[in-house]
Structure 1
Amino acid sequence: MEVVSSELKDFVAWITLVKEVEHLFGPMADEASFQDGLEQAILQKTAFCIRSEQNEDKQELMGGVVISKETNEIAWLAVSKKYRSQGYGKVLLNYAISQLDRQNEIYVQTFDESVPEGKAARRLYVNLGFKDSKPGGLNPAGLNTVIMKTSKTS
């Protein structure tokens, strides 16, 4: 399971993954602003993925993560349903963290502990040192979120 920088050839596979999680994150796949942001992240080498072992004709992402070096945050993370609970989220998150400034706090907006569908995501972040920082409000899907952050390391 290798994390790689996404390429433009992955764009359709990214949109397929995005559609799979829209019920948790809100509408994105058909939103021009999301598509433009994803394309920019790919071009800026801040979008990373784990590709399936399928043939080149039918590329599929097992999971993907987008970071922001400017705000030192995990901007987006998802694992395809059929690959969940197999360690892919942890691998993606560890890789993303390695690309950010660990000397400063790293941020992520994820599900509040009151959201049953978000328990696995929260557990992943907590296990890697993130702690609740402040309420994040409702996401576009209407689910409560929280801003989590890591501690600074010296």
Structure 2
Amino acid sequence: MGRKPVLDGGKRDDIAKAALELFLQNGYDGTSVRSIMNQAGGEVGLFYYYFKNKDDVFDAVLDLFFAHYDADFAHIVSHGRRNPCRVMQDFFEYMERETEKFRERYADKMHRTVRWAIREHTLTLIEPYLEQIVKIQSDYYGVSPALAPDVAAMYLTHGVGSCILHEDREKYWAHRTEVKRGSSLIMGMPTEAQELRTPYPAESADIPGCMELAEHVKDSFPGWEKTEFRARLTEAVARGEAWMFREDETVAALLLYSKEKKTLAYLAVSPEYRRHGLAARLVETVAAQFPVGTPLSVTTYREGDPQGAAARAFYKALGFAEGEITEAFGYPCQTLTLTVPDGTPIQIQGNLKKAETASPERNEKI
């Protein structure tokens, strides 16, 4: 009779799960086939019905352990094709979070031999995904990595990836900014203003900076009122519905949106940071939070209103189409709508330069 397939469930999975627990606790050498079967509740002969030897079950254990990580990495890269400016940040932030969870769960009870095997397996797993990310961001930013994509991925894997997995996490966090700078160099991107390439979800600590930006550009927003705006900003941050760019301690651009209403609620860019494409990348990032095909709307100025010429040109460059005539705070406005694409609005519309150079500071009303 042939050996059971790798993905066969039932008793095979029970044996693999028992082996995983013992390998983590006792290491490879300290785990025997008999101890695995005692844990799984079966005879030693049953082990050899499913596995050739201890090496075979150890490989199965690694596959079992990494199955959900592999699925998550694949999802991050797939989603990153819709939001390229975030994809590498999302990938490594996921690694950071999961590494912390792993240490909290296993640090005190994992044998070093298994820990080393898991570390090496992790690096092997992420390298092809990082090669895809290198290609995605190279196309998006129009840059050529300093190295061939596969070599760049290798350096990112054994550089950034290894730093995240290293046991001395304090050292990694102390040098995290420099690690990101090294990633920029590998990608062939300028290290100046590298913070302005990646939007971040706003946190409560960012509210004062966001308010400073909003007050700086308030004359461009009819009906803007400080107390009401702060309340709405605080709610948006708490709901995870606020994205921003910052450089050092300065909030350079801010976008608030509503998941429930599927609308962009507020978009502002500080005058000294305009012409950097920040507004376009914020809209791209928010669009990527919705399923493909979702109608995403924004209320802005009507055709012919001189205050709204730049904002309308900006949204149209991203593919927003004219919709309902309406009012906001007694001011004549119009709704524009984008059907969320399977990709980035910037790239699909082919109007990156137009979207980057349009100045959307006079925008929708909150």
Identify whether the pair has TM-score above 0.5, normalized to the shorter chain: yes
Q: Which residue of 2 aligns with 1:65?
A: 255
Q: Which residue of 1 aligns with 2:233?
A: 38
Between Structure 1 and Structure 2, whose CA radius of gyration is higher? 2
**Structure 2 Cα separation of the partners of residues 21 and 27 of structure 1:** 12
Q: Which residue of 1 aligns with 2:272?
A: 82
Select between 78-87 and 113-122 the one with higher mean Cα deviation. Answer: 113-122
| Greater relative contact order structure (CA < 8 Å, 6+ sep) | 1
Select between 112-121 and 123-132 the one with higher mean Cα deviation. Answer: 112-121
**Structure 2 Cα separation of the partners of residues 152 and 41 of structure 1:** 21
Q: Percent identity?
A: 25
Q: Which residue of 2 aligns with 1:148?
A: 336
SS state at 2:217 partner: helix
Q: Which residue of 2 aligns with 1:20?
A: 216
CA shift digits 1:56-92 (9 cap, x unpaired): xxx2111011111101111111111111122111111
**Structure 1 Cα separation of the partners of residues 340 and 273 of structure 2:** 31
Does the CA contact (< 8 Å) of 1:28 and 1:34 recur in 2? yes
Does the CA contact (< 8 Å) of 2:287 and 2:340 recur in 1? no
Unpaired runs of 5+ in structure 2?
Answer: 1-196, 343-366
SS state at 2:226 partner: coil
Deviation at 1:131, TM superposition (A): 0.9
**Structure 1 Cα separation of the partners of residues 219 and 283 of structure 2:** 21
Unpaired runs of 5+ in structure 1?
Answer: none
**Structure with higher helix content:** 2
TM-score (norm 1): 0.84
Query: Which amino acid in structure 2 is aligned with residue 43 of structure 1?
Result: A
Deviation at 1:143, TM superposition (A): 4.8
Deviation at 1:147, TM superposition (A): 0.6
**Structure 2 Cα separation of the partners of residues 84 and 143 of structure 1:** 25
CA shift digits 1:105-130 (9 cap, x unpaired): 11101122222232222112111111
Pair 1:132 & 2:322 matched: yes
TM-score (norm 2): 0.38
Does the CA contact (< 8 Å) of 1:19 and 1:29 recur in 2? no
**One of 205, 224, 235 as aligned partner of 1:9:** 205
Q: What are the equivalent positions in structure 2 for 1:96-107 lying under 5 Å apart?
A: 96-107=286-297
**Structure 2 Cα separation of the partners of residues 21 and 134 of structure 1:** 26
